[in-house]
Amino acid sequence: MADAALVDPGIAPARPPGWRGIVTDWSSDQRAFKNVSWGKAMMWIFLLSDTFIFSCFLLSYMTVRMSTTVPWPNPSKVFALHIGGVEIPLILIAIMTFILISSSGTMAMAVNYGYRHDRVKSAVLMLVTAAFGATFVGMQGFEWTKLIMEGVRPWGNPWGADQFGSSFFMITGFHGTHVTIGVIFLIIISRKVLRGDFDREARGFFTSRKGHYEIVEIMGLYWHFVDLVWVFIFALFYLW
Amino acid sequence: MVDTTIGAAGVIQPAEVKDVELYHPKSWVTKYVFCQDAKVIAIQYAITALGIGLVALVLSWLIRLQLAFPSSFSAIGPTDYLQFITMHGMIMVIYLLTALFLGGFGNYLIPLMVGARDMVFPYVNMLSYWVYLLAVLVLVASFFMPGGPTGAGWTLYPPQAILSGTPGQDWGIILMLASLILFIIGFTMGGLNYVVTVLQARTRGMTMMRLPLTVWGIFMATVLALLAFPALFVGCVMMLFDRILGTSFFMPAIVEMGQHLKYGGGSPLLFQHLFWFFGHPEVYIVALPAFGIVSDLISTHARKNIFGYRMMVWAIIVIGALSFLVWAHHMYVSGMNPYFGFYFATTTLVIAIPTAIKVYNWVLTLWRGDIHLTVPMLFALSFIVTFVNGGLTGLFLGNPVVDVPLSDTMFVVAHFHMVMGMAPIFVIFGAIYHWYPKVTGRMMNEALGQFHFWVSFLGAYAIYFPMHYLGLLGVPRRYFEMGDMAFIPQSATTLNIFITMAALTVGFAQMVFLFNLIWSLFWGKPAGSNPWRATTLEWQTPETPPGHGNWGKELPVVYRWAYDYSVPGAKEDFVPQNQPPTPRAA
Ligand code: HEM
Ligand SMILES: [Cu+2]
């Protein structure tokens, strides 16, 4: 349903440039954001809310890091790997970050091909994105296993403040859940793209609404957001 | 501001997007149970919220009975008492008021008032209700678990909330936190819908500045909720980990019954910050919809346009924004840098300005209006009185020097019951009496309504006025019984008995209300489509109750603001928003 209303950027009335244009849009009827479909608006607002969740997590982590009286373990030691006899600090995290950021690139290309109705390229790029995401989660899993083997637990660790393990598992876990959900949806959507659901405007199984290529872009918004959050986690948890 | 010429804002624009094609339910189950229609979802939300609210009401009787007749009820022990106040407070604030205003009235009124066929994503909207129901069931389950529900106080402050001294340490606290997390997830699904519907799915001619204030109030409250609930969500997740996994986010090194616990290094203050970063906006999450609804009730039943519409809208926005800057006024006694106290006191008092603007505007709307003392109007008026009353004691409590001695006394209980207990509840009642005819097609019984109103209104004052006095005497809050504290005079006991009598009477009046709700469904006077002769779009639907898709074939087109009452020269004393202007006689 709502097919058209959902994605149709519609006719945008001419508007003056800059701030006055924004004021004109907001004082107009029907829509405050012209050329923004319902789905995209909803995703943006959800991401705003999610930003507050991640901010609260990160601020809480910083607070307990300051409130605890025990020294904080040194992240560049904890997250170092022995490779070929040398200890390289943060190497795994650096690779993970690189992978996740690359996945943003493939995602952006998938969106582009989606809008050109290039089914195969779009779907393949989404699957590549999903593979990057899955690799990221896999490496995160490796990291978790390594720390757990070394004795890190949510309630304590061998090197210092208990809150280190708690914050680490909680924040990376919450972010990892976001990535995992993203991977699952990437696979579902790429399957639909490949089947040509969006060319036929096939109806969704649950929502019974017609599908459109726009969903690829909405997926992309989510994916870029999850990447962006990782940058903050990287900076505030691993580099601090 | 009679906005009748088309010229003012240019010609009505053509539709920017095509009309939506709705999901058509095929079976009874998809029509009434797993229903995607916002109107049905609204009723589901409302019934669930009223049902769980009834539990909270009964708990308040038990609390009051214990306070009036300490040591007369063997069934109520100190543990039970703490559990009662906790569940009473939490249910009232979250599961009743928030759910009813946003899930109930939001769902019913937003699509109708902005001229949409439904919420933008009906399927997600439906999920929202079912997750909310699940949250309620998890909450109810905690009553039946070993150890019972949590008794940590509705603020759930750690460390005590998860230590063995607090009732419900086994399961109660876990289920409470789980239920809140579910509630937030469910609410987010609904909330995104409300916001996007208001922003992106208005009908032709419906500008933001023509929205009825009800929609503005609910819209802004939803925005607040989407930004405030995350803090509670995070707090709940971390406390759940502290309780289940033994992490120490909120737990300092602590000795319990002579034993060192394994906790250490966490920050209890952190939870208070997270809680109140949510908690204060929460006050406005229930107050802003009330503000909006009251504005519409007053304007309709006084047959006058709302005074200062633009100011009212901006006041809602400013109050919403400021409400994020004041949270630590709940923490004056938690210990903080005096400069912070100064900052939070200042921002708190600044909120009084936009709020006062609203109150003045309501009064000026009434000024020389043609006031009809219908039941909705009576409740709207009682809201203004009660809200001003609670707001004034709020100014006391906003000042650290005054708050410190009053904190945790009955004065605080009286204050917040006035401002966020009674005042919004009155609006809920008023709104139910007002919109019931649209929802069911029948009027509610007027005599029973008048009875309900007078008992509730006078009763509320009989309950809470004396509580202020008890608070000034120093009677503490959350105390099972007073024992013989020297500073509490004998007369306080008498007063407590009086308050309890009043509370039970008010409780009885609510039963009359529930009876009226059901009775009128079958035997109420048929209402017609617009019994209050109101201007807003929901009264102009082709069918009453509005059918699937709300508007029949054609979406309405809006030509004017929502407050064209008693326009000079108009045929009737109200001009519906979708009535085209008459061309001027040349
Ligand atoms: C007939 C109606 C009501 C009565 C008689 C009543 C009575 C009470 C009493 C006696 C207490 C506290 C006792 C103590 O601190 O020892 C209390 C606490 C509370 N009530 Fe109500 N109440 C009513 C309605 C409401 C409503 C509508 C709200 C919605 C905001 C509400 C919210 C609260 C909260 C948040 C607490 C604090 C719980 C705590 O201390 O953790 N109450 N109520
Ligand atoms: Cu507050």
β-pair partners for A89: A80
Q: Could you give the domains of chain A?
A: 1-36 (no CATH), 37-239 (1.20.120.80)
In whole angstroms, what separates CA B431 from the centre of its chain?
12
What pLDDT is attached to residue A231? 95
Q: B85, A6 in Cβ contact below 8 A?
A: no
- Scanning every residue of chain B, which has its alpha carbon at the shortest distance from the alpha carbon of A156? B247
The protein residue with its alpha carbon nearest to ligand 1, atom 29, reads: B421
pLDDT-derived band at A82, boundaries 50, 70, 90: confident
User: How buried is residue B447: exposed, middle or buried, by Cβ count under 10 Å (0-12/13-18/19+)?
Assistant: exposed
- Residue B191: its H or E element: helix B172-200
Q: What are B86's two structure tokens?
A: 């906790």
- The pick from B173, B417, B426 for probing ligand 1's pocket by mutation, whose C-beta has the most ligand atoms within 8 angstroms, reads B417
Helices B107-114 and B423-440, packing angle to 10 deg: 60
Q: What is the predicted pLDDT for the residue at A137?
A: 97
- B194-220: pLDDT as tens digits: 999 999 999 999 999 999 999 999 999
Q: Which of B61, B64, B88 to mutate to test the pocket of ligand 1 (most atoms within 8 A of CB)?
A: B88
In chain B, DSSP finds a helix count (H) and a strand count (E) of 16, 2
Closest C-alpha to ligand 1, atom 7: B60
Query: What do you get for the CA distance between the two ends of chain B, in Å?
Result: 22
**Average confidence score pLDDT of chain A:** 90
- Radius of gyration from C-alpha coordinates of chain B: 24
14-73 in chain B: CB under 8 A from chain A:
14-23
Ligand 1 geometric centre to CA of B417 (Å): 7
Q: Does A205 touch chain B (CB under 8 A)?
A: no
Tell me if B195 sits within 8 A of A43, measured CB to CB: no
Query: Which B-chain residues 267-326 have CB contacts (< 8 A) with chain A?
Result: 267, 270, 274, 277
B57 or A89, greater pLDDT: B57
B422 alpha carbon – ligand 1 mean position (Å) = 10
Quick one: pLDDT band at residue A9, thresholds 50, 70, 90? low
- Tell me, yes or no, if B196 comes closer than 8 A to chain A by beta carbon: yes
Ligand 1 site, CB within 6 A: B 60, 63-64, 85-86, 88-89, 92-93, 97, 153-154, 413, 417, 420-421, 425, 463, 477-479, 503, 506
pLDDT digits (tens, 9 = 90+) for A17-49: 888 988 988 988 889 998 899 999 999 999 999
The token pair at A225 is 């957001």
Smallest CA–CA distance, residue B185 to chain A, in Å, is 11
Closest CA to B274 of B294, B251, B250, B303: B250
Is residue A80 classed as helix, strand or coil in its secondary structure? strand
**What totals of helices (H) and strands (E) does chain A contain, helices first?**
9, 2
Q: Which residue among B18, B231, B262 places its CB closest to the CB of A8?
A: B18
The two three-digit tokens of residue B245, written as one number: 């996994």
Give every CB contact of residue B84 below 8 A, 6+ residues apart in sequence. B59, B62, B63, B66, B76
- Output the pLDDT for position A123: 95
User: Which of A37, A39, A67 minimises the CB distance to B265?
Assistant: A67
Residue in the structure block whose two tokens are 């898709």: B549
Question: Residue B436 in contact with residue B442, Cβ under 8 Å?
Answer: yes
3-class secondary structure, A107: helix
Q: State the best of A38, A62, A201 to mutate against chain B, taking most chain B CBs within 10 Å.
A: A38
Determine, for residues B266 and A155 on separate chains, whether the beta-carbon distance falls below 8 Å: no
Which of B572, B534, B530 has its CA nearest to residue B213? B534
A58-80: average pLDDT: 92
ipTM, 2 decimals?
Answer: 0.93
For residue B584, the model assigns a pLDDT of: 60
Q: Which residue's CA is minimally distant from atom 43 of ligand 1?
A: B60
Collect all residues of chain A within an 8 Å Cβ-Cβ radius of residue B211.
Answer: none
Picking from B20, B209, B238, the nearest residue to A1 by CB comes out as B20
Q: Counting ligands in written order, which one lies closest to the CA of residue B328?
A: 2
Confidence of residue A203 (pLDDT cuts 50, 70, 90): confident
Query: What's residue B21's pLDDT?
Result: 76
Over residues A94-107, the pLDDT tens digits come to 999 999 999 999 99
- Coil, strand, or helix at residue A156? strand
φ/ψ (deg, to 5) at B7? -60, -35
Closest CA to B301 of B373, B364, B367, B361: B373
Q: How far is the CA of B89 from the centre of ligand 1 (A)?
A: 5
Q: From A80, A69, A234, A89, select the one nearest A162 (Cα to Cα).
A: A69
> Which structure tokens are listed for A32?
């405050």
List the 58-77 stretch of A: residues with Cβ below 8 A of B.
60, 63-64, 67-70
Q: How far apart are CA B294 and CA B372, in angstroms?
A: 14
Q: How confident is the model at residue A5 (pLDDT cuts 50, 70, 90)?
A: very low
* pLDDT reported for residue A80: 87
The secondary element (H helix, E strand) that includes residue B380 is helix B375-398
CB distance from A161 to chain B under 8 Å?
yes
Q: How far apart are CA B278 and CA B324, in angstroms?
A: 8
Q: Do A52 and B199 touch (CB under 8 A)?
A: no
| pLDDT by position in tens, chain B (length 586) | 444 444 444 568 888 888 887 878 888 888 888 899 999 999 999 999 999 999 999 999 999 999 999 888 888 999 999 999 999 999 999 999 999 999 999 999 999 999 999 999 999 999 999 999 999 999 999 999 999 999 999 999 999 999 998 999 999 999 999 999 999 999 999 999 999 999 999 999 999 999 999 999 999 999 999 999 999 999 999 999 999 999 999 999 999 888 999 999 999 999 999 999 999 999 999 999 999 999 999 999 999 999 999 999 999 999 999 999 999 999 999 888 888 989 999 999 999 999 999 999 999 999 999 999 999 999 999 999 999 999 999 998 998 889 989 999 999 999 999 999 999 999 999 999 999 999 999 999 999 999 999 999 999 999 999 999 999 999 999 999 887 777 888 888 899 999 999 999 999 999 999 999 999 999 999 999 999 999 999 999 999 899 988 998 889 999 999 999 999 988 889 999 999 887 665 4
User: How far off is chain A from B15, nearest CA to CA, in Å?
Assistant: 8
8 Å CB contact between B394 and B415: yes
**Residue B123 to residue A154, Cβ atoms within 8 A:** no
Instruction: For residue A113, give the nearest of A101, A103, A123 by alpha carbon.
Output: A123
Pairwise CB contact (< 8 Å): B196 & A56 = no
| Closest CB from A32, A70, A170 relative to B199 | A32
Q: Which protein residue has the closest C-alpha to ligand 1 atom 26? A: B421
Residues 6 or more apart in contact with residue B554 via CB below 8 angstroms: none
Q: Write out chain A residues lying below 8 Å of B267, CB-based.
A: 63-64, 67
Ligand 1: which atom is nearest the Cα of residue B422?
Answer: 27
Residues of B in contact with A205 (CB under 8 A): none
How confident is the model at residue B16, as a pLDDT?
Answer: 84
CA B469 to chain centre: 26
